[in-house]
Amino acid sequence: MIDKQIFLDLERLKRLGMVEAVWGENKSCEQIAQILRKIKAAKQLALVTRVNEKKALELLEIFDDAKYHYDSSCLTLGDALLVEPSLGEVLIVSGGTSDFRVASEVELSLRLHGIKSEMLLDVGVAGLHRLLTNLQVINKASVVIVCAGMEGSLPTVIAGLISQPIIGVPISIGYGVSRGGEAALNGMLASCAPGLLVVNIDNGYGAAMAALRILKSGIKNNF
Amino acid sequence: MIDKQIFLDLERLKRLGMVEAVWGENKSCEQIAQILRKIKAAKQLALVTRVNEKKALELLEIFDDAKYHYDSSCLTLGDALLVEPSLGEVLIVSGGTSDFRVASEVELSLRLHGIKSEMLLDVGVAGLHRLLTNLQVINKASVVIVCAGMEGSLPTVIAGLISQPIIGVPISIGYGVSRGGEAALNGMLASCAPGLLVVNIDNGYGAAMAALRILKSGIKNNF
Amino acid sequence: MIDKQIFLDLERLKRLGMVEAVWGENKSCEQIAQILRKIKAAKQLALVTRVNEKKALELLEIFDDAKYHYDSSCLTLGDALLVEPSLGEVLIVSGGTSDFRVASEVELSLRLHGIKSEMLLDVGVAGLHRLLTNLQVINKASVVIVCAGMEGSLPTVIAGLISQPIIGVPISIGYGVSRGGEAALNGMLASCAPGLLVVNIDNGYGAAMAALRILKSGIKNNF
Amino acid sequence: MIDKQIFLDLERLKRLGMVEAVWGENKSCEQIAQILRKIKAAKQLALVTRVNEKKALELLEIFDDAKYHYDSSCLTLGDALLVEPSLGEVLIVSGGTSDFRVASEVELSLRLHGIKSEMLLDVGVAGLHRLLTNLQVINKASVVIVCAGMEGSLPTVIAGLISQPIIGVPISIGYGVSRGGEAALNGMLASCAPGLLVVNIDNGYGAAMAALRILKSGIKNNF
Amino acid sequence: MIDKQIFLDLERLKRLGMVEAVWGENKSCEQIAQILRKIKAAKQLALVTRVNEKKALELLEIFDDAKYHYDSSCLTLGDALLVEPSLGEVLIVSGGTSDFRVASEVELSLRLHGIKSEMLLDVGVAGLHRLLTNLQVINKASVVIVCAGMEGSLPTVIAGLISQPIIGVPISIGYGVSRGGEAALNGMLASCAPGLLVVNIDNGYGAAMAALRILKSGIKNNF
Amino acid sequence: MIDKQIFLDLERLKRLGMVEAVWGENKSCEQIAQILRKIKAAKQLALVTRVNEKKALELLEIFDDAKYHYDSSCLTLGDALLVEPSLGEVLIVSGGTSDFRVASEVELSLRLHGIKSEMLLDVGVAGLHRLLTNLQVINKASVVIVCAGMEGSLPTVIAGLISQPIIGVPISIGYGVSRGGEAALNGMLASCAPGLLVVNIDNGYGAAMAALRILKSGIKNNF
Amino acid sequence: MIDKQIFLDLERLKRLGMVEAVWGENKSCEQIAQILRKIKAAKQLALVTRVNEKKALELLEIFDDAKYHYDSSCLTLGDALLVEPSLGEVLIVSGGTSDFRVASEVELSLRLHGIKSEMLLDVGVAGLHRLLTNLQVINKASVVIVCAGMEGSLPTVIAGLISQPIIGVPISIGYGVSRGGEAALNGMLASCAPGLLVVNIDNGYGAAMAALRILKSGIKNNF
Amino acid sequence: MIDKQIFLDLERLKRLGMVEAVWGENKSCEQIAQILRKIKAAKQLALVTRVNEKKALELLEIFDDAKYHYDSSCLTLGDALLVEPSLGEVLIVSGGTSDFRVASEVELSLRLHGIKSEMLLDVGVAGLHRLLTNLQVINKASVVIVCAGMEGSLPTVIAGLISQPIIGVPISIGYGVSRGGEAALNGMLASCAPGLLVVNIDNGYGAAMAALRILKSGIKNNF
């Protein structure tokens, strides 16, 4: 019954060129459905993050044109935006298989905004050769997004090797002092490598939107 | 007497296009002098951050071609790099006069790498009109770097208004829960605005190097 | 069997003009029922906060004159107090739909004490225009209570725009560094806006009682 | 040389009825002097908080119409505002002599805005009788501001005894777990007394501005 | 199969006059059963704390002479120790009904060691009169144990009123900053009242054993 | 000029049998002098803790009957209380020489209240034999107070060996994770030994007052 | 479907002589199965830690040559490595029965690498005699690994008694300030005993691999 | 006057083969002198860590056979122990010049116990090539001790490359989230590399003693 008081930011698309992501974790199905109806009525693309399977099934019953993405636990309604292909490509690097959900959230968020990306998984620094043999792939990307839990040193090592923009996404997976992702977060912020940028723990969507800002800025800078 | 064991990263310039910044705060004059001699011998540009006035005077005695920058508490040795002007411009925004030292470190670090920047000081969110009347200036920049202490909400508000890359620099100035800069840091990481990027507290040099990566990436993306 | 040793503060109503709220989260149904019987026997109004649906159903079976409020997860027994209408009106502002449960606890707590309030939801600072177009509504209120999670900058922005008493309620909803509500709490405490007041994370009842103290003080001040 | 880029919030007085306080602790004399000149040119009242004696003497040399307040470590330039006397009176209560500087900052900040206040010092809860014998004084105040360090339980005890608005100011004085003021801050936020409001540690100015908002709201509510 | 490697401290009774408490929360039924068998074989009294109902039922099936105490979530096997009645009496005071489980753990632990105690519940400081009208009861006790969650100021207030030994037990019940019991713990440690002693959060058994040490010391001191 | 508003707790002596300790660390000489004059006028004994040498010299100039105690950094004015010798003796144990100042504060605080104590220094657990060869001395004490910094395990080991009341005083001396005393504090609170009691970090006076409560309770219990 | 992007560190065995442990806690059955297939194809030994019973049963269905180890919650696939017996023996000491799962993870991890170990359980410092009577056993070991929760003082006491390499494993079991294992971790790091080494909370596998490094180094040092 | 109560652990040398290090930071010159006299009387070697220059000069006046080591801020009295050369060599690796004091404390502590070591400075991961070109040197060492501040990822990278025992020493040098050394400490504890061991922040002496334990264990294992 809170329907009429909700002020969705439907002009975000026009203002920022970004779809408003609905954070699904602490919202009830009913709350999400209300929001989706508003977005649909405005003929916009909807992205709901952190939707568990149970909630997703309920929402798919209500919205038969919605789609659930298991890998990223996201639900979408509507088609991806079209962006000119010249924007460049994003590479998503990850230190371990446990980072896969967040890495997938990055990939989906980019795809919805018309940005192509590739993934390079399980290249953690404990086995450095995996990273070094992939350096060429890394060097081709316009922006590199690195997901890492535990001590989070992967983005530091990569930032020392390449000159492109690089965004670290700390992952909450871990135990003991790395439980919750703070050791990884602080490791990335305290990094001795110059110019490493950081977003909140597990914030795949945020990293994707930052990459989008950077890629678009490339166009602007040259005209 | 530790001289011969030091392995400076003198190839950073070639590899990353960045000058290695020497963090001066916890080094003795003697240690800094040793490092400066090595950099000078390699004919590279030296940037020492967080050098207090007393240390600076001692170092200026030793290196008569060094220069001390009061506003940013930095010391440099050698000439700024030349970079093609087409890279675009950076805007440095700050919430209060107390952020000035870090904002100046950003400006100097950019200038040494051939990047032009402007400053917009004291436009904190408690007097929102100051920000809104400067929106046009903000919108012209290729990258926006926002320094903010206290609750650190300034980059969040700006990130909701513009579509360019935006980097938040939390400032350690404050008292009570904002003492040390963690309230500002967490506020920026937790931001509800999409795609806000963050560096370590007071890390002006890091924000500048991230902006450099972004500006260069703009060139790459278009050729 | 602890019944006879409980000393409820039944004179709170007389002393402070406030109903004693029973915090239901960590009490068993049996414990809540014992307390409700005592309050009922004293012919007072009972407010139990943070009662989940399962507990509520059990309690509704025992007390057929009790009422469960889904939006705020509160249970009440007895009728709202009557207060003269001249006390002024409270506006409850919130940054996102996830704050709705706490905002509803504010609203219910006020209503039980005879205070009228309105809600303005989803006006987060990432889309500033939503707030600015509602400034007139905000300016009419005698007291403004702002619920915000994430980085919690909404009350700071509003406190810079209006001169009325303003109370920030940090919300525990969020992830990473904003998980648990501490980033929002510290952001409100560290606020650069003058005179912003804060209560504990998720403490909707407390914010309402503070507003009640303020509204009553208005009467007292003028006689 | 940062002079022309400073955007002081000189309309704060008109917008909020409050003087902009300059936080003096981390600003150099030169920075404070620049700001004072701007405020003076705008013919406004200036309040600089946390100015140590050494800085104060330098500033008094520059501005011969400035005044230094030892008790509160504040410096002012210009005359207090005139406010109608009917706004009511504030009582400042403190748990120990060590809270005196912050209590004095509250008193000065109120006086500059034309608000009268009284102080009741050293009535900590470890000697409860001191508080109970002063209850009548406390009950006469329109707003009560309570400064407390250590465990910070004084505002909780008072909030259980009176029905007026009550604002807790945690004090950073203490040792061990109370060092820095967080034990007092959390104690006030976690308070079992209904409707206790809190500001940042040592934030005397903030508490005063909140009291001002409340006192003014009393007028508004009745017209 | 770890059986033969367990070295229970069965001489604790002789050495300290205390029963070894088995902390049941993170042990499996099988692990607890193994330990109980060893204690039983040594003809000692067994006290298992933090046993949930499910585990208790399983254990009661195995040990038909065991007894489950619902109020304290403890399980015992064997008879209470006999102690001369002259040791004096303990008073258990609590700030709210939610503290009841821990208060009951104190009571049971004392009873098993032959010490008599009384309970005074729900006398939180927000309604000070409840405490003051019970001062005579409090003054009769040899040792006072005070359980308090939230801001934990109850033991501070009592310690300022009486001269007996007083032990604060912080309770983990609460939300926001008092969630987990740290605000209460720090409040008790930072207490401005002289000579308040503290144990770990929720450590009812520990507070009881400390009281036992004190009561026995009374005998020793006089012979 | 704050003189007339100070409400010293001069009845503490009568009520609790304890001298009010003035915490000297964050008070100016002038503030301490004002307080001392009030206590002197009331013909009571004054104890000021944490007075550095510089302040002490200034105060000794003003009060020629004052006495400065270097070992404990305390200043006293007036004679120690007389207490019947039958109260028993306190043993002060310490893990390292760095704990000596706090151990001395315990000793002085006890002596002022007529309680005799002995010290056993430098018996840290890393050389267990030092402790074991002193067990007989430890066993003779009525109350044992153990000061320990670093990991703070000394009181745990002792509490497992003796049955008397035992009070742990965490010491702030240390580096890295033990810096500030929190590792020692948490180690004592988390102790696996039954009935170990704890006071705030460095709180020698508090530990002494707790011992006084215990020793007096011994008398009460037996009459 | 992430299969082809996974870069397992299959050369770890050759490079470090260690099996790569798969951290099973936050991986789905499907993710673990994919990894196990890759390891199996490479004819290597697989060790999956922190696999709950439910996941284990599913995996045992898929891999009929896998084995689940209840005590340590680990799953293995393939045979233990063969190592020459002369490497020496490890002793695993633990303070309480609740540490058994982690102690078992140490034992299994060692066994898979061909290292023999013994366990000494429940010898916590609160009953010191248990430790002292086992000193001879402890003195025979080449490396001692000590698991301890609560205040974690057991490794400190042992490190003061023996001269062998000693590794502390903090255990997350506990409540209040020892909940999560940080009190134990900090207690071990802050230890006053010289040369105590520490691994992450609950990191049994890590402690075992460190012991393996030490035992192998013994060989190397002597040839 | 505390002299006779000090129980130095003079048998540590016999028991553990280690010199007792006196932690000099929080001890007065007089306290250190008392201890040195005792050690000298026992004809043992004395090592005092964290002695600043001022204290050192005072102590050198008293003890003309003492020696001050500027690089490590340590003071010694007496000759280094003799140990058979076959024990193997330690390599001390460091990420930056600021780690030099702690690295020197490691070197001195080893040398005093007859152990040879080499240093490899400034090979931080941001310039990985410096590390990779030194791999052969690293591989020759029996034990590797890695000092690292900032994000502390250097020991993780090395532990993935070599199979010897490796000890990480977090360094307190840094700013923002790495200030105090906790980011480095947690990064090392959370390391994804198997078998990395950690000591307290800045604990050079501790790392050296751990290396000594390991080197000696090598002998024991083979005889």
Q: Which of G3, G6, G182 to mutate to test the interface with A (most CBs of A within 10 A)?
A: G6
F158 pLDDT more than 80: yes
**Nearest residue, CB atoms, H209 vs list G18, G86, G195:** G195
What order of strands is seen across the sheet that includes strand F166-170?
Answer: E117-120, E90-94, E143-148, E166-170, E196-198, F196-198, F166-170, F143-148, F90-94, F117-120
Are residue A21 and residue A126 in the same domain, yes or no? Answer: no
pLDDT for the residue numbered H223: 43
Select, from the ranges A131-135, A214-218, F100-104, the one with the highest average predicted confidence (pLDDT). F100-104
Beta strands E117-120; G196-198: pairing state: unpaired
**Nearest residue, CB atoms, E163 vs list F163, F201, F216:** F216
F152 pLDDT more than 80: yes
Phi, psi of G124 (to 5 degrees): -60, 155
pLDDT for the residue numbered C173: 87
Select, from the ranges A51-55, B76-80, C80-84, E126-130, the one with the highest average predicted confidence (pLDDT). A51-55
Q: Residue E181: CB partners within 8 Å, gap ≥ 6?
A: E149, E170, E171, E172, E173, E174, E201, E202, G176
pLDDT band at G84 (very low <50, low <70, confident <90, very high): low
Mean pLDDT of E105-128: 92
Cβ contacts (< 8 Å) between E176 and chain D: which residues? 189-190
Structure tokens at C103: 């905002």
pLDDT for the residue numbered E106: 98
**Nearest residue, CB atoms, B121 vs list D2, D27, D202:** D2
In a domain, C201, yes or no: yes
In a domain, F91, yes or no: yes
Which tens digit of pLDDT belongs to each residue from B180-201?
999 999 999 999 899 999 999 9
Using the 3D structure, point to which of A57, A77, A97 is the last residue of a domain.
A77
Mean pLDDT of B155-167: 96
- Euclidean distance between CA atoms A99 and A94, whole angstroms: 6
Cβ contacts (< 8 Å) between A2 and chain C: which residues? 71, 97, 100, 119, 121
Are residue B117 and residue B197 in the same domain, yes or no? Answer: yes
Mean pLDDT of G109-120: 94
Which residue range forms the structural domain that includes residue B169? Answer: 85-216
Establish, for the pair of chains B and H, how many residue pairs have beta carbons separated by less than 8 Å: 63
Which tens digit of pLDDT belongs to each residue from H172-198?
988 999 999 999 999 999 998 999 999
> What's the ipTM?
0.94
Select, from the ranges B58-72, C6-20, F77-91, H10-24, the one with the highest average predicted confidence (pLDDT). B58-72
Q: Residue F35: CB partners within 8 Å, gap ≥ 6?
A: D97, F6, F8, F22, F27, F46
pLDDT for the residue numbered E1: 45
pLDDT for the residue numbered E12: 84
pLDDT for the residue numbered E83: 67
Q: Which of E131, E133, E162, E192 to mutate to test the interface with D (most CBs of D within 10 A)?
A: E192
Are residue G145 and residue G66 in the same domain, yes or no? Answer: no
From residue E14, alpha-carbon distances to D3, E11, E79, E206, F195 in Å are: 78, 5, 16, 18, 16
pLDDT band at B56 (very low <50, low <70, confident <90, very high): very high
pLDDT band at G20 (very low <50, low <70, confident <90, very high): confident
Q: Residue H199: CB partners within 8 Å, gap ≥ 6?
A: G189, G196, G197, G198, H167, H168, H169, H206, H207, H210
Cβ contacts (< 8 Å) between G221 and chain H: which residues? 86-88, 142, 215, 218-219
Using the 3D structure, point to which of E77, E97, E132 is the last residue of a domain.
E77
pLDDT for the residue numbered G223: 43
Are residue D65 and residue D92 in the same domain, yes or no? Answer: no
**Average per-residue pLDDT for chain B:** 90
Using the 3D structure, point to which of G42, G60, G77 is the last residue of a domain.
G77
In a domain, B223, yes or no: no
List, in sequence order, every beta strand (DSSP E) within chain G: 21-23, 46-49, 66-69, 74-77, 90-94, 117-120, 143-148, 166-170, 196-198
Q: Residue G80: CB partners within 8 Å, gap ≥ 6?
A: G45, G111, G112, G113, G114
G117 pLDDT more than 90: yes
In a domain, E223, yes or no: no
High-pLDDT (> 70) share of chain A, %: 93
Mean pLDDT of C38-57: 93
pLDDT for the residue numbered D149: 94
Note whether E173 and E205 are within 8 A (CB): no
In a domain, D5, yes or no: no
Are residue B209 and residue B122 in the same domain, yes or no? Answer: yes
pLDDT band at H84 (very low <50, low <70, confident <90, very high): low
- Euclidean distance between CA atoms F83 and G3, whole angstroms: 80
- Euclidean distance between CA atoms F1 and D70, whole angstroms: 11
Q: Residue H85: CB partners within 8 Å, gap ≥ 6?
A: H116
Q: Is G135 on the interface with F (CB under 8 A)?
A: no
Q: Alpha helices, DSSP H only, in chain D?
A: 12-16, 29-41, 53-62, 100-112, 128-132, 135-140, 154-159, 182-189, 204-221
Are residue F22 and residue F104 in the same domain, yes or no? Answer: no
Are G and H neighbours with ≥3 CB pairs closer than 8 A?
yes
In a domain, G7, yes or no: no
Beta strands H46-49; H74-77: pairing state: antiparallel
D221 pLDDT more than 70: no
Are residue A141 and residue A183 in the same domain, yes or no? Answer: yes
pLDDT for the residue numbered B218: 75
Taking an 8 Å cut-off on Cβ atoms, the answer to whether G157 and F153 are in contact is yes
Taking an 8 Å cut-off on Cβ atoms, the answer to whether B98 and D27 are in contact is yes
Residue of chain E whose Cα is closest to the Cα of C4:
E121
**Nearest residue, CB atoms, B187 vs list C124, C126, C183:** C183
**Of F150, F50, F148, which is closest to residue F99 (Cα–Cα)?**
F148
pLDDT for the residue numbered D109: 96
Note whether H157 and H95 are within 8 A (CB): no
Note whether F190 and E199 are within 8 A (CB): no
pLDDT for the residue numbered A1: 45
Are residue F105 and residue F203 in the same domain, yes or no? Answer: yes
C5 pLDDT more than 90: no
Q: Which of B102, B177, B178, B202 to mutate to test the interface with D (most CBs of D within 10 A)?
A: B177
- Comparing E23-32, E141-150, H207-216, the range with the smallest average pLDDT is E23-32
pLDDT for the residue numbered D9: 77
Which tens digit of pLDDT belongs to each residue from F12-45?
888 899 987 899 998 999 999 999 999 999 888 9
Taking an 8 Å cut-off on Cβ atoms, the answer to whether C192 and B159 are in contact is no
High-pLDDT (> 90) share of chain D, %: 72
C90 pLDDT more than 60: yes
Are residue D94 and residue D184 in the same domain, yes or no? Answer: yes
E221 pLDDT more than 70: no
Nearest Cα of chain H lies from the Cα of F36 at a distance, in angstroms, of 29
pLDDT for the residue numbered E85: 65
**Average per-residue pLDDT for chain C:** 90
C6 pLDDT more than 80: no
pLDDT for the residue numbered A83: 67
Which tens digit of pLDDT belongs to each residue from A109-146?
999 999 999 999 888 888 888 899 999 999 999 999 99
Instruction: Note which residues in 23-82 of chain E have CB less than 8 A from chain F.
Output: none
Are residue H202 and residue H134 in the same domain, yes or no? Answer: yes
Mean pLDDT of C93-112: 93
Domain count, chain F: 2
- Euclidean distance between CA atoms H184 and C31, whole angstroms: 48
**Nearest residue, CB atoms, E210 vs list F17, F160, F195:** F195
pLDDT for the residue numbered A223: 43
Q: Is C153 on the interface with B (CB under 8 A)?
A: yes
Cβ contacts (< 8 Å) between C174 and chain B: which residues? 190
Instruction: Note which residues in 82-121 of chain G have CB less than 8 A from chain H.
Output: 86-88
**Average per-residue pLDDT for chain E:** 90
D5 pLDDT more than 80: no
pLDDT for the residue numbered F85: 65
C129 pLDDT more than 80: yes
Q: Is F145 on the interface with E (CB under 8 A)?
A: no
Q: Residue H112: CB partners within 8 Å, gap ≥ 6?
A: H19, H45, H47, H76, H80, H81
Nearest Cα of chain D lies from the Cα of E192 at a distance, in angstroms, of 6
CATH code of the domain in which H146 resides: 3.40.50.1970
Chains near G, with 3+ CB pairs < 8 A?
Answer: A, E, F, H
High-pLDDT (> 70) share of chain G, %: 93
Residue of chain E whose Cα is closest to the Cα of G151:
E200
Are residue E171 and residue E126 in the same domain, yes or no? Answer: yes
F84 pLDDT more than 70: no
pLDDT for the residue numbered D223: 43
Are residue D115 and residue D183 in the same domain, yes or no? Answer: yes
Mean pLDDT of C165-194: 95
E102 pLDDT more than 80: yes
In a domain, F5, yes or no: no
Instruction: Note which residues in 178-197 of chain F have CB less than 8 A from chain D.
Output: 180-182, 185
**Nearest residue, CB atoms, D130 vs list F7, F23, F35:** F7
- Comparing D195-204, E145-154, F79-88, G90-99, the range with the smallest average pLDDT is F79-88
Q: Is C14 on the interface with E (CB under 8 A)?
A: no
DSSP reduced 3-state for D207: helix
Which tens digit of pLDDT belongs to each residue from A170-194?
999 889 999 999 999 999 999 989 9
Mean pLDDT of A186-206: 96
In a domain, A121, yes or no: yes
G220 pLDDT more than 80: no
B221 pLDDT more than 60: no
pLDDT for the residue numbered E30: 92
User: For the whole prediction, is pTM greater than 0.90?
Assistant: yes
pLDDT band at C4 (very low <50, low <70, confident <90, very high): low
Q: Is C168 on the interface with E (CB under 8 A)?
A: no
Structure tokens at B23: 């963090």
High-pLDDT (> 90) share of chain B, %: 72
